[in-house]
Amino acid sequence: MGPEAILQSAESEQPPRCPDCGVQYTIEEDDEACPVCLLRRAMQLEATVEDLLDEGRFDHYQIVRRADGCFDELGRGAMGVTYRGLDTVLGHAVALKVIDARIAWSGDARERFLREARTAARLRHPNIASVFYYGVRKSDGQCFYAMELVEGETLEARMRRDGSLPASFALAVVAQVARAMALAESQGLVHRDLKPANLMLASGPDLTVKIIDFGLAKAAAASESDITHGAFVGTPAFASPE
DSSP 143-198: EEEEE----EEEHHHHHHHH-SPPHHHHHHHHHHHHHHHHHHHHTTEE-----GGG
In a domain, 16, yes or no: no
pLDDT in tens, 114-123: 988 888 888 8
pLDDT in tens, 10-34: 455 666 667 666 666 566 544 556 7
Compute CA 61 distance to the chain's CA centroid, rounded to the nearest angstrom.
Answer: 15
The pLDDT assigned to 185 comes to: 85
Report whether 58 contacts 144 (CB < 8 A): yes
In a domain, 105, yes or no: yes
In a domain, 28, yes or no: no
Helix (H) or strand (E) holding 98: strand 93-99
In a domain, 135, yes or no: yes
Distance CA 32, CA 79 (A): 45
In a domain, 43, yes or no: no
In a domain, 8, yes or no: no
Distance CA 197, CA 92 (A): 25
In a domain, 31, yes or no: no
In a domain, 42, yes or no: no
What averages of pLDDT result for each successive group of 10 residues across the chain (242 residues)?
A: 54 62 59 63 45 72 93 85 94 93 86 85 89 90 93 94 95 95 84 83 94 63 47 52 52
Q: Domain of 184?
A: 57-238
Is 193 in the active site? yes
79: which residues sit within 8 A by CB, 6+ positions away?
Answer: 97, 99, 100, 103, 109, 112, 113, 116, 215
Catalytic-labelled residue, pool 54, 193, 206, 226: 193
Torsion angle in degrees (nearest 10) through CA of 42, 44, 45, 51: 150
Report whether 173 contacts 165 (CB < 8 A): yes
Tally of structural domains, the chain: 1
The CATH number of the domain holding residue 180 is 1.10.510.10
The pLDDT assigned to 96 comes to: 95
The pLDDT assigned to 80 comes to: 86
